[in-house]
Amino acid sequence: MGRSDVRLLIFGLGYTAQALAARVRGAGGVVVGTTRDGRDGTIRFEDAAAVALELGVATHILSSVPPAGEVDPVLTRYGEALAATRSWLGYLSSTGVYGDTCGAWVDESAPIGHGRRNARAEADAAWQARGARVFRLPGIYGPGRSPLDRVASGSAHRVIAPGQVFSRAHVDDIVSGVIAGFDAPAGAYNIADDCPASQNAVVEYAARMLGMVPPSIVSLDALSPMARGFYAENRRVANGKAKRVLGWTPLYPDYRAGLRALSAMMSPPITKAAPAPVSGDQR
């Protein structure tokens, strides 16, 4: 199906979903989204009549709504209608469903539900049971939401966490992965770049690009409980299935390529990474 033939209903217009909506509209498709309050021409999530109308005409339906407590709001409110639809279904999940692998690689064949996000894992499985394409996403970065922005604003930090690595993905690569999934079989797909790396390495590279001294190093104890939970899991996310089945390849295969592209969008653009001291943490 050509993208101009797509009529996409998105539950929850967050950062990634807005980027997807822009891409689909740019290709001539129609996108309708829901929000809590119906702002900016969207449908109010609780407006069952309006949502039902869109469910009836949508060719593609995607949820980017995370669990609320222990339940998936979209499945709780509209699960019966979704079970009856013949439309393409998609769900933006998280690689957090894999839990901690002590830095080992993990792919879609691994069990889920052993980490901090049990509700997310349950939603992931529930969407798969309905025949959805489930896109498991790592740390997301892109325009206005990147290490460059955090370093420039003074909100970035480095953490004493030897051997800790994370996977991440540029929002444009997530969008291209979801669109590639429009013509793919149901199932789970990891959408991540090729180069898991420590958070410190990424922050230090961003600081060098900005010509700034890297932020100070803090201990895990100095972080909020939520941030400590983030560092409690250590894994490398494999993207081979998405490449094989979706025919997808990340435009930004590592954080360096992604940050260089983002720097060119800044005003004024960064033209050369300036030297700055770095730590001895593992890259």
- The per-residue pLDDT for range 3-46, each reduced to its tens digit, is 678 999 999 999 999 999 999 999 999 999 999 999 988 999 99
Q: Is the pLDDT of residue 274 over 80?
A: no
Query: In terms of DSSP bridges, do strands 43-44 and 30-35 run parallel, antiparallel, or are they unpaired?
Result: parallel
How large is the average pLDDT for residues 262-272?
A: 73
pLDDT value of position 276? 36
Query: In terms of DSSP bridges, do strands 236-237 and 105-106 run parallel, antiparallel, or are they unpaired?
Result: parallel
Question: 226 burial class (0-12, 13-18, 19+ CB within 10 angstroms)?
Answer: exposed
- The per-residue pLDDT for range 65-116, each reduced to its tens digit, is 999 988 999 999 999 999 999 999 999 999 999 999 999 999 999 999 876 7
List the single range of 16-30, 170-184, 220-234, 251-265 with lowest mean pLDDT.
220-234
Question: 280 burial class (0-12, 13-18, 19+ CB within 10 angstroms)?
Answer: exposed
pTM, two decimal places: 0.92
Q: Is the pLDDT of residue 51 over 90?
A: yes
Closest CA to 98 of 167, 172, 158, 173: 167
How many CA atoms, within 13 angstroms, populate the side-chain half-sphere of residue 132? 27
pLDDT value of position 270? 60
- The per-residue pLDDT for range 163-188, each reduced to its tens digit, is 999 999 999 999 999 999 999 999 99
